[in-house]
Amino acid sequence: MAISVGDKLPDVTLVKPGAEGPEKIQSGEYFAGKKVALFAVPGAFTPTCSARHLPGYVEKAGDLKAKGVDEIACTSVNDAFVMDAWGKSADAGSVTMLADGNAELAEALGLTMDGSGFGMGKRSQRYSMIVEDGVVKEINVEAPGDFNVSSADHMLGQL
């Protein structure tokens, strides 16, 4: 069963690229006490994710923060080194890159997909959510192959 509005995010281990290498963080601690615009992509460096999804959040970071968002975070079933390289290549300093390398978050949210037809294995579905103090306030899950409701523009309309 997928997570819903009003649910508390599960507490799982994620990995954040840091100045001294990968840093393990608990999602419960990361989301506590702040309003986070979280979005997930099936894979770093994949076409839609790199051309539209991440760039949209980078471009709209100021607008999101002006509407009360404390932090913008991107998660993907990739390792922290890939997430770090992708964030740097996209000049995404305004977005916290969170590696969900073992799909713990995607599984706990009930938002996995099977990308094995593309040689990608288990991945996260494309989605966005507004999380306040660890509680889901809005959630937008894309239909397979779509990119509409998880965009930064759509999220701006929800704030």
Which residue has better confidence, 48 or 55? 55
What are the tens digits of pLDDT across the range 56-83?
999 999 999 999 999 999 999 999 999 9
- Give the residue carrying structure tokens 């305004």: 94
First to last CA, the chain: 26
Distance CA 127, CA 98 (A): 14
Q: Output the CA–CA distances (angstroms, integers) from residue 13 to 22, 23, 76, 109, in the order listed.
A: 12, 10, 13, 13
Q: Quick one: pLDDT at residue 45?
A: 85
Q: Quick one: pLDDT at residue 108?
A: 94
Catalytic one among 12, 49, 58, 72? 49
Residue 17 has φ and ψ, to the nearest 5°, of -60, 135
Distance CA 66, CA 47 (A): 29
Task: For residue 41, give the DSSP letter.
Answer: E
- Give the residue carrying structure tokens 């409701």: 149
pLDDT at 115 over 90: no
Is residue 74 annotated as a catalytic residue, yes or no?
no
Q: Quick one: pLDDT at residue 120?
A: 67
* Domains assigned to the chain: 13-84+94-104+123-158 (3.40.30.10)
